[in-house]
Structure 1
Amino acid sequence: MKPLKKDVVAWALYDWGNSAFAATVMVVFFPVFFKQYWSADVSATESTFWLGMVNGIASFLLAIMAPLLGTLGDRGGSRLKFLLGFTVLGVLSTAGLGLVAQGQWQWAALLFALGSMGFWGGIIFYDSLLIDVAPRDRLDSISGFGYAIGYMGGGVLLAINVWMTLDPAFFGFADATEAVKASFISAAVWWALFAIPIFLFVRERPAPQRNPARSTLRQSFAELAATVREVRKYRAIVFFLLAYWMYIDGVNTIQKMAVDYGLAIGLESSRLIQAILMVQFIGFPAALLFGWIGQRLSPVLGIFICIAVYAVVTIYATMLNTVTEFFIMAAATGCVQGGIQSLSRSYYGSLIPPDRTGEFFGFYNMMSKFAAVLGPFLMGITALLTGNSRTAILSIVVLFIAGGALLVVAAKQKKQDFTQSTQRTQS
């Protein structure tokens, strides 16, 4: 394997840093702490409603703004500046969670929403920088390296934070509550510290010349509208985005379902955290392996393997009854979670125009944010028609089948576009 360049390592370290927010804040501590500490004196219905409203609005705004943000970043070669802005927003909001007093659930909900916007908004520009640091023939392995580093970084800090809550006196804290608050601050510091290298060592490709007579915002709207009108020129991209929307919706649904299943079968919170940690550390070598598969064999093949495993996991989930079976499901998910994410990112990167990465990754991340609709809808309709929740879960397999079929179409269209381009060049 070729040695990694300094800019590649710096780019990957950002994932190591911001994964602290994903693992420590989003997945583990915030959901529990919000219910048991910040909104303990408020009805569960009211606090859940407002938390859902605040975060739903923030996610929706970010989703619809993603392509425009990407276009703005492309125009002035300012994707790193946008990344810095969203990073600062995320870091400060995350640190702020550690200062919110008991009962102030409104502030906690708002800061979590702002932190989430910083996290997801930053990913738009972080993903687009893959094209700047990775040669076209190494997109898969470097994308996999980034995800692997992210899983490891998030897992390491989460393990430390869990230790802090289990033995607060060892770290000088009065109790577990103080340790959890410190965990939020540690996630912010971790994110900020490991974000520094990307701003020091990664350089964007020169931005194409633009019309200086028109404002940046106005021109960005015009370019975005032109891309939507000319989308037929990018048919492989359209088919891939539809495929991605389908199968990543299934992936997101499985991830959410796993936690509910763990609670349903009586899994203790400590065991649930153990399962989450296991997924983080399994994800590290698995993402590297799938990066190798994509590089040496085919990213499409790697994505198909992941889709197949997820389909089997979905079927297996309908028969889940014990803690051991839950851990088996979590381990299987950890083996392919990073792979399907990293290969999807790198394959998409191979399809898009190199000078418009921010804009096109804006569309990509928009699909990611909206990929939480079809799965719950399918499950709800199936449950209503059959009266069986296990059968409802089985309906998610439809998303993986549809996503796989559309991926075949996207791959064929890419090959066709390449053949036509080669013929035009030769003529």
Structure 2
Amino acid sequence: MKGLQKGDKKLINAWAFYDWANSVYSLVISTAVFPIYYETVTSGNDGIVHFFGTEFINSTLLSYSLSFSFLVVALLSPILSGIADYTGNKKRFMQFFCYLGSLSVMSLFFFKGQDTLWIGILGTILASVGFWGSIVFYNSYLPEIAFPEQHDRVSAKGFMYGYFGSVILLAFNLTMVMMPQWYGITDSSLPARISFLSVGIWWIGFAQVTFYYLPNNVFHKKPEKDYIFKGLIALKVVSKSIKKLTKLKQFLTAFFLYSIGVQTMILLAGIFFKKELGISTSKLIIIILLINVIAIFGAYLFSRISEKIGNIKTLKLTVAIWAFIWFTVYFLDAKSTYIDIQIYALGGMIGMVLGAIQSLSRSTYSKLLPETEDHATYFSFFDVTEKIAIVLGTFIFGFVASITNSIRNSIFILAIFFVLGYIALSFMSKNEDGKD
């Protein structure tokens, strides 16, 4: 599709629609249905599973698989982004990772138990690589489809679309999982496996809207031969450039610190609520839905706040709220009469700042970039920062829990990273036209 100019509403909506397409992976596969299904089908033999001749605890194997996928993306994305920027073929890379992720999710339909564990683990790794790999190129389109003054609202719109779409599909999937008789399903594993299939179809199907409208080779590049080598040279140039950009380095430092807390909490908070506070699976699902619905309004609200007081001050506000939430979670008493009310209230607060911190982080980074044609390469550093934060955060969570024999202590340590992130943001000089 040609003819849509930068800032065009149709182009912006098409870009944001990729969040609608892929966010079902984050909610259904990463957070809600798949972890519960995986635990159920691998819980025999006291949760001990065998994978390629090695014995693992089932939850440990899943954690290792995800960590491996994050490391793969962290290693590949800067190299591929450099090549994509040099060749001007960014959309093709985004499509490749989208198709890899969605087809891998669909393959989870064939994961039925320990006999097919290899399908579950391989599908999990490739789906994660596909999802996070496509996000690098998706994010890098932001400076090319919207003007700087639009970035906050456009970034928030993407997350709003994502939360809304994923809640719709999750609600449908949950009716199958919790009330299979409505659909005439008698196989207990089938509802979850159909859910995995639906996620892949939803993702690859709705992504076509984005791919139809997004331009390719915006800067009309005509690559010469040896584009891999020259793509690596482009990566080296961007790497040196980042070292000279003080505000960008300061932001990446702050982003790294608070992402350790945010991303780890997203992945592992459910374990804390279930094991430490005794929250039932049904209540956890309600909390997850609550968080995602409120996140729609949170992303919108904080994008407007940022227009009034600036991105850095708004980010500091969201990080401060995150710190308050998780220090509060640390002190929760499972025996309290009001524990359910407290959990739902905290879930609402998480939703309010979840979309906000994600959308503002993306738009703030975009605003801090220099004039460049290498957006994918620059955004690969943003992505790598987040992935390393995830790997470190999940390691800290498990390590602290193992040496102290308490998940609660892990929560406290990770909450400290929000404080450190707040301090790092405070060091950023005033910019954004005097707003910060």
Residues 1:386 and 1:30: Cα distance change in structure 2 (over 3 Å): closer
Shift of 1:155: 1.0
Unpaired segments ≥5 residues, structure 2? 1-6, 50-55, 334-338
Separation (CA, whole Å) in 2 of partners of 1:182 and 1:223: 43
Shift of 1:360: 0.7
Shift of 1:34: 1.6
Residues 136-147 of structure 1 correspond to what in structure 2 (within 5 A)? 136-147=148-159
Q: 1:68 touches 1:220 (CA, 8 Å); kept in 2?
A: yes
Q: 1:207 touches 1:355 (CA, 8 Å); kept in 2?
A: yes
Residues 1:288 and 1:204: Cα distance change in structure 2 (over 3 Å): farther
Shift of 1:50: 3.7
Alignment partner, residue 171 of structure 1? 183
Q: How many residues are aligned here?
A: 414
TM-score by length of 2: 0.87
CA RMSD of aligned residues (A): 2.6
Residues 21-420 of structure 1 correspond to what in structure 2 (within 5 A)? 21-37=25-41, 40=44, 43=48, 45-103=56-114, 104-204=116-216, 206-207=218-219, 209=221, 212=224, 214-263=225-274, 264-321=276-333, 322-353=339-370, 354-375=372-393, 390=408, 393-412=411-430
Kindly provide the amino acid, as one letter, of the partner of residue 260 in structure 1: I
Shift of 1:223: 1.7
Shift of 1:66: 1.7
Shift of 1:99: 2.3
Moved more, 56-65 or 188-197: 56-65
Kindly provide the amino acid, as one letter, of the partner of residue 351 in structure 2: G
Separation (CA, whole Å) in 2 of partners of 1:165 and 1:28: 11
Q: 1:286 touches 1:338 (CA, 8 Å); kept in 2?
A: yes
Residues 1:90 and 1:217: Cα distance change in structure 2 (over 3 Å): same
Q: Helix, strand or coil for the counterpart of 1:101?
A: coil
Q: 1:63 touches 1:366 (CA, 8 Å); kept in 2?
A: yes
Kindly provide the amino acid, as one letter, of the partner of residue 161 in structure 1: N
Deviations 1:135-180 (A, max 9, x none): 1111001101111111111111111100111111222322442111
Separation (CA, whole Å) in 1 of partners of 2:94 and 2:68: 21
Residues 1:254 and 1:38: Cα distance change in structure 2 (over 3 Å): closer
Shift of 1:331: 1.2
Separation (CA, whole Å) in 2 of partners of 1:376 and 1:114: 19
Alignment partner, residue 425 of structure 1? none
Deviations 1:276-312 (A, max 9, x none): 0111111111111112222343111221111010111
Shift of 1:210: 6.4
Q: 1:164 touches 1:176 (CA, 8 Å); kept in 2?
A: no
Kindly provide the amino acid, as one letter, of the partner of residue 59 in structure 1: F
Residues 1:383 and 1:413: Cα distance change in structure 2 (over 3 Å): farther
Q: 2:20 touches 2:161 (CA, 8 Å); kept in 1?
A: yes
Q: 1:318 touches 1:393 (CA, 8 Å); kept in 2?
A: yes
Separation (CA, whole Å) in 1 of partners of 2:401 and 2:108: 38
Separation (CA, whole Å) in 2 of partners of 1:389 and 1:118: 30
Tell me which stretches of 4 or more aligned residues in structure 1 moved more than 4 Å.
208-211, 373-392, 413-416
Separation (CA, whole Å) in 2 of partners of 1:58 and 1:135: 33
Unpaired segments ≥5 residues, structure 1? 417-427
Moved more, 127-136 or 171-180: 171-180
Residues 1:373 and 1:51: Cα distance change in structure 2 (over 3 Å): closer
Q: Helix, strand or coil for the counterpart of 2:113?
A: coil
Q: 1:129 touches 1:204 (CA, 8 Å); kept in 2?
A: no
Separation (CA, whole Å) in 1 of partners of 2:210 and 2:407: 46
- 2:13 alignment partner, one of 9, 19, 24: 9
Identity %: 28
Deviations 1:19-77 (A, max 9, x none): 11111111112112122125646615443444344333222121122211221221122
Shift of 1:260: 2.2
Deviations 1:199-218 (A, max 9, x none): 11122463365662x51110
Moved more, 141-150 or 406-415: 406-415
Kindly provide the amino acid, as one letter, of the partner of residue 331 in structure 1: G
